[in-house]
């Protein structure tokens, strides 16, 4: 494995959180790029122009370090890049265990292989809210929605990348339009969080065991108008569901995402909770290979 020549890098493309290839969220995994400067890594991410591209280092045992870039810049943590990168490294024979540890800018993330799926486990980091009603109404307006579409408390939550979790009626999820306003512009009106906040997880919740979630995720501040499947948002959603009383003792939830943009995705989330507070968050899904090749070194 590694660099094919002095001017080219190996890469894999996989579809994550997909029931079949050519669905879910696309991910490019570029090998042997660890010594490139940040502007070169960003150039590669923009060339693929997926919501994320990862740059893993050579694993040491069953541990590996990875950097994650969107077309707009680096992020400390993301869900589908975590699952997809682990799957690619294992498929290439660079790791062999059923349990791995990914080291990223947000810290260590556990990754587990179970049958045909991959699951990450993360420690909750940010939980802030509920958001003031006036701010919730402004966020809804950015998405072309009105106050009557709101269906519960709005929380900020995440495990390395924090999202605004905006609950609405199910028909409002489909009616929403992508916002062009970065969430960072609301910084003075939102509760203070430790991690970056620049995405909206618009979602509806239907009762059941597990809960049925219909979600759309918008990250305009990182040049991702709408994300097909967002594991980091799914992780934070578990925390928000506990805080809002939807899963006070923890539990499971299934997320449908990406259908409105032709990239149907399914994510399986679960959250552990003690005393009405989330203690650990998990999200799982399938990974499908779609391409392998080389790309010119910037």
pLDDT digits (tens, 9 = 90+) for 170-192: 999 999 999 999 999 998 899 88
- Using CA atoms, how far apart are residues 269 and 238, in angstroms rounded to an integer? 7
How confident is residue 222, by pLDDT bands cut at 50, 70 and 90?
confident
CATH assignment, 126-282? 3.10.310.10
**Mean pLDDT, the chain, whole residue set:** 95
Q: Is the pLDDT of residue 101 over 90?
A: yes
Active site residue ranges: 52
Q: Domain 8-122+286-296 carries which CATH code?
A: 3.10.310.10
b vs e for 12-36, b when ≥16 Cβ sit within 10 Å of the residue's Cβ? bbbbbbbeeeebbbbbbbbbbbeeb
Q: Where in the chain is the domain with CATH 3.10.310.10?
A: 8-122+286-296, 126-282
Residue-level pLDDT at 223: 83
Cβ(45)–Cβ(279) below 8 Å: no
Per-residue pLDDT band at 5 (split at 50, 70, 90): low
Average pLDDT, stretch 27-52?
A: 96
Nearest CA among 149, 161, 154 for reference residue 135: 154
Please give the Cα distance from 23 to 297 (Å, whole number): 28
pLDDT at 4 over 80: no
How far separated are the first and last CA of the chain, in Å rounded?
A: 19
Please give the average per-residue pLDDT across 140-160, as a whole number: 97
Q: Considering the entire predicted model, what is its pTM? A: 0.93
> Residue range 58-64: average pLDDT?
95
């Amino acid at each position: 494995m590694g660099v094919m020549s002095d001017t080219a890098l190996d890469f894999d493309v996989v579809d994550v959180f997909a029931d079949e290839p050519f669905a879910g969220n696309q991910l490019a995994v570029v090998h042997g790029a660890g010594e490139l400067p940040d502007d070169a890594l960003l150039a590669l991410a923009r060339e693929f122009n997926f919501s994320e591209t990862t740059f893993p280092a050579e694993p040491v045992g069953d541990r590996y370090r990875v950097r994650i870039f969107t077309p707009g810049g680096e992020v400390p943590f993301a869900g589908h890049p975590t699952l997809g990168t682990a799957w690619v490294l294992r498929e290439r024979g660079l790791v062999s265990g059923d349990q791995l540890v990914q080291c990223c800018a947000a810290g260590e993330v556990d990754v587990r292989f179970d049958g045909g799926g991959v699951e990450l486990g993360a420690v909750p980091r940010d939980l802030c809210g509920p958001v003031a009603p006036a701010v919730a109404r402004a966020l809804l307006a950015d998405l072309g929605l009105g106050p009557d579409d709101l269906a519960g408390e709005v929380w900020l939550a995440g495990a390395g990348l924090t999202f605004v979790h905006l609950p609405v009626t199910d028909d409002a999820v489909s009616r929403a339009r992508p916002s062009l306003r970065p969430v960072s512009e609301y910084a003075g009106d939102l509760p203070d969080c430790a991690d970056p906040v620049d995405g909206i997880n618009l979602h509806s919740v239907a009762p059941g065991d597990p809960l049925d979630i219909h979600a759309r995720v918008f990250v305009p501040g990182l040049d991702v108008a709408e994300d097909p499947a967002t594991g980091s948002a799914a992780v934070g959603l578990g925390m928000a569901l506990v805080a809002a009383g939807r899963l006070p003792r923890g539990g499971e939830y299934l997320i449908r995402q990406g259908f409105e943009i032709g990239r149907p995705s399914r994510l399986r989330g679960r959250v552990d909770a003690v005393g009405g507070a989330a203690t650990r968050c998990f999200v799982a899904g399938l990974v499908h290979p779609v391409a392998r090749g080389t790309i010119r070194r910037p």
